[in-house]
């Protein structure tokens, strides 16, 4: 069974740029997987950042962007701020109606 | 603004059943696929199930297939998740979501906690 992979943790300095990735244990992610990205802080419901690879959800600042980098989906945060410190999850479409989340990345801003 | 309000969570014994509900407003309910996503304590998000706008198609994660049933009542703008043969590993916060990540994005409810324990 294909696993969706994400970096378990990442750190970025305030004002810096970070790129989180979302890959497959077998194969490459393309736009046909409709990757989406979500941000979640402890005790809160997830918040949608990006859907369908690179479309920002309503109200999401443009320092969050999505793309395909090589064989992975990517979420880039430019000008990182303290309140960007969260968990970030991707989800991809595996076909036949099935969606799979990645394990999530804990982002630290320090 | 889309609003999704889950209810029906609680404590249930292993092997028991529970039905979750999600009341939706601020959207044309029957035109949107809807999903349930869960999160075990201290763990990541897990997609559970999706149902088409008409209710004619439904899909499940392997971990719940054959035990959980997703359904909807478009006349009541309500989504359901019938959970049978519950196990300890089903303990999680269950989120209802307007699920259109390929086109319109995802809107989330606040979640309801299900605890499976004797």
What digits encode the pLDDT tens for the residues A19-41?
A: 999 999 999 999 999 999 999 99
Q: What share of chain B is helix, strand, coil (3-state, %, to 5)?
A: 5, 55, 40
Interface of A with B in 43-72 (CB under 8 A): 45-48, 51-52, 55, 57-58
Among A48, A99, A100, the residue with its CB nearest the CB of B105 is A48
Contact B104 A51 (CB under 8 A): yes
Per-residue pLDDT at A1: 82
Residues with Cβ within 8 Å of A54's Cβ and at least 6 positions away in sequence, in order, are: A65, A66, A67
Contact B106 A87 (CB under 8 A): no
Residue A100 forms contact with B (CB below 8 Å): yes
Angstrom distance (rounded) from CA B26 to CA B40: 28
With beta carbons under 8 A apart, name residues in chain A contacting B110.
45
pLDDT at A2 over 90: no
Contact A101 B107 (CB under 8 A): no
**pLDDT, tens digit, 9 for 90 and up, residues B33-75:** 999 999 999 999 999 999 999 999 999 999 999 999 999 999 9
Which whole number is the average pLDDT over A64-73? 97
Quote the strand ranges of chain A, DSSP E.
Answer: 4-6, 9-12, 18-24, 36-40, 47-51, 55-56, 64-69, 72-77, 87-95, 98-101, 105-109
Task: Report the residue of chain A nearest B33, measured CA to CA.
Answer: A97
């Amino acid at each position: 069974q294909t696993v969706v992979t994400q970096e378990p943790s990442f750190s970025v300095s305030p004002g810096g740029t970070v790129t989180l990735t979302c890959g497959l244990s077998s194969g490459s992610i393309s736009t046909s997987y409709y990757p989406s990205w979500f941000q979640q802080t402890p005790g809160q419901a997830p918040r949608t950042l990006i859907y369908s690879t690179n479309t920002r959800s309503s109200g999401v600042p443009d320092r969050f962007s999505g793309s395909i980098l090589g064989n992975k989906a990517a979420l880039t945060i430019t000008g990182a701020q303290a309140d960007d410190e969260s968990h970030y999850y991707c989800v991809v479409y595996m076909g036949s109606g099935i969606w799979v989340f990645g394990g999530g990345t804990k982002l630290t801003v320090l | 603004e889309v609003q999704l309000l889950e209810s029906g969570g609680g404590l249930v014994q292993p092997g028991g059943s529970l039905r979750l509900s999600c009341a939706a407003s601020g959207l044309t309910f029957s035109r949107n696929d809807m999903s349930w996503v869960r999160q075990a304590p201290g763990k990541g998000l897990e997609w559970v199930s999706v149902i088409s706008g008409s209710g004619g198609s439904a899909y499940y994660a392997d971990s719940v297939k054959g035990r959980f049933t997703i359904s909807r009542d478009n006349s009541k703008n309500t989504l359901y998740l019938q959970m049978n043969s519950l196990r300890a590993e089903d303990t999680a916060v269950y989120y209802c979501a307007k699920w259109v990540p390929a086109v319109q994005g995802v809107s989330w409810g606040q979640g309801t906690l299900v605890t499976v324990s004797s």
